[in-house]
Amino acid sequence: MVFVGLMKSNTVWFRDRDYGFISGLTLLLGNLGAIMAAGPLAGLLTLWSWRAVFVAFGVIALLLAVIAWLGVRDKPETLGFPSIREMDGKPPHAGRERHWWPELLSVLSNRRIWPGFWVNFGMPGTFLAFVGLWAIPFLRDIHGLGRSTASLYTSLALAGFACGALFHGWCSDRLGRRKPLLVGGCLLYAAAWLGIVYAGWTPGPSGSAWFLLMGFSGGSFVLTYAGAKEVAAPALSGMAIALVNTGIFLGAALIQPLFGWIMDLSWSGALANGVRAYGFADYRAGFYLMLGGVTLSVAASLFFHETRCRNITLAEGEPH
């Protein structure tokens, strides 16, 4: 919820031609928290209890809320500045004229937005489901790594994810294209998953490379935000961004339990200290679900609408 508000704010505080880079920078900064929540958090919990750490995080969140309330403004005009478009000698975007419900329905009926939703369902959805839940058990059960060591691999994947978002956003703005980079990122993500499932890697440089590639290529999803805002009316950019963003968390929310359910179907019945013990065949069965999500993202990226880094709903001939 907070992230969608931030991305909407970026649409009115930054120029269209810089939106890909700003989106990537936002993801980079946001994922620093995810990186800290992996390996560094595991180390922190060896010094303090999880209750103390969570209370500290809660206090920090409250302080950030106060700072945001006091310092953040919805648009430049609130501070007496002209809009970003007016600074460039262009007319300001029209505001929303109807109740939010029919506007939301118009966004939901916009077929050009939905490919981004399915890309996010299949790519960052599987990424977050794996890195956020199943990667550490997999590295522990199959490769014999301890939790702290395994968390270094997830931290590496998250670091690649953050850097990939920044790179793809910046590169897209410079090239003036969205679709080629998104399709390429989805294909690289597919290659990374095929490597993890079939390459027979071991912990160390080869394993680190596959995790890093998975994260870096997955960061190309950031272009779905720019694509969504550029195929919807500017006043509805927040709703459009929220729709494609929903694909990420819906995908992760469904894939995480489905992965476990599929592993249970192939479970041999082995127990370790009273807990189910899974082998590589069990994880590979779950990985087939991940590969299905990857295939979905690649297919959806082929239907992604190329906007050439401008809002295509604006009147023909209007300066962008």
Per-residue pLDDT, averaged over 51-64, amounts to 93
The single residue listed with the structure tokens 């990420």 is 248
3-state SS record for 89-146: CCCCCCCCCCCHHHHHHHHHCCCCCHHHHHHHHHCHHHHHHHHHHHHHHHHHHHHCCC
Q: How far apart are alpha carbons 231 and 12 in whole angstroms? A: 16
Q: Which residues make beta-bridge pairs with 276? A: 271
Residue 317 has pLDDT above 50, yes or no: no
Handedness of CA 88, 91, 92, 96 (dihedral sign): negative
**Which of the following CATH numbers is that of domain 2-47+112-301: 1.10.3210.10, 3.40.640.10, 1.20.1250.20, 1.20.120.140?**
1.20.1250.20
Residue for token digits 């209007």? 318
More confident residue, 312 or 94: 312
Please, which residues bridge with residue 271 across strands?
A: 276
Provide the percentage of residues in the chain whose pLDDT is more than 70.
Answer: 98
Contact present, 230 and 113 (Cβ < 8 Å) = no
Average pLDDT over the chain reads 91
| β-strand partners of 275 | 272
> Using 50, 70 and 90 to split pLDDT, how confident is the model at 316?
very low
Mean pLDDT across 244-265: 95
Residue 221 has pLDDT above 50, yes or no: yes
DSSP reduced 3-state for 271 = strand
pTM of the model: 0.88
Contact 125, 255 (CB under 8 A): yes
pLDDT exceeds 70 at position 38: no
Residue 319: pLDDT band (50, 70, 90) is very low
